[in-house]
Amino acid sequence: MTRFAALLFCALAPAFLSGCAAPGDYRPELLATWPEKGYALGAGDRLRIIVFGQDSLSNSYTVDGSGHISMPLIGPVLVNNRTTATVEREVAERLRAGYVRDPRVSVEVEAYRPFFVLGEVTAAGQFPYVEGMTARTAIAIAGGFSPRGYQGEVDITRVIDGAAVTGRVPLDTLVRPGDTVTVRERIF
């Protein structure tokens, strides 16, 4: 019976231990070397779209959970993972197709989606993004380190090309909208 129990344990152990793995891909080198391709829009961003000479089309639009904005005349426009320049071209093309003769469109980010701070901080949660923010600034916005917070490095989780990537980085690493900053507990 002990042999059977040992075989059963060996067969089931990998299945149980796989549940202990951290979610997402832990590849700090990918996070550190991720090239800047321009800001990729995502759910929660608020865009200011101006169609020159068309006041009824110029407005603020919030990117919904499916990555779309909905504009008069042309309906839903997919903006998820696109830059503002790409959205400008698409909106202009769709307006040119029977609605406006020569549309001139400007798109800017009016408000970025929030970032998140978890772990050993005074007030974990969701916060509005501030341009040029580092992990250190994000922690300060969350009320600072708790007495047990490790103050050397933090984990940042960022979605890169549709996959969540986590990396352990210095406190002076730039935080992007939508990132999750996790402060670990110190040992001593």
| pLDDT tens column, 94-109 | 999 988 899 999 999 9
8 domain residue, yes or no: no
Q: What is the pLDDT of residue 27?
A: 60
41 domain residue, yes or no: no
Q: What is the pLDDT of residue 30?
A: 54
CA distance 116 to 113: 10
Q: What is the pLDDT of residues 152-164, one digit of tens each?
A: 999 999 887 778 8
176 domain residue, yes or no: yes
> Phi/psi at 32 (nearest 5 deg)?
-75, -30
Segment 21-31 mean pLDDT: 53
Whether the predicted model's global pTM rises above the 0.75 cut:
no
Q: At which of 96, 111, 126 does a domain end?
A: 111
Residues 105 and 117 in one domain: no
Residues 118 and 175 in one domain: yes
Residues 51 and 82 in one domain: yes
CA distance 139 to 175: 11
Q: What is the pLDDT of residue 38?
A: 73
Residues 129 and 161 in one domain: yes
**Looking at the predicted structure, is the pLDDT value of residue 22 above 80?**
no
157 domain residue, yes or no: yes
Q: Domain of 94: which CATH number?
A: 3.30.1950.10
Residues 31 and 117 in one domain: yes
60 domain residue, yes or no: yes
Note down the domain range covering 128: 23-36+113-183
- What's the CA angle centered on 27, arms 25 and 173, to 5 degrees? 115
Q: How many domains does the chain have?
A: 2
59 domain residue, yes or no: yes
**Looking at the predicted structure, is the pLDDT value of residue 23 above 50?**
no
Q: What is the pLDDT of residues 34-50, one digit of tens each?
A: 555 678 899 999 999 99
Q: What is the pLDDT of residue 31?
A: 58
Q: What is the pLDDT of residue 14?
A: 41
Q: What is the pLDDT of residue 39?
A: 82
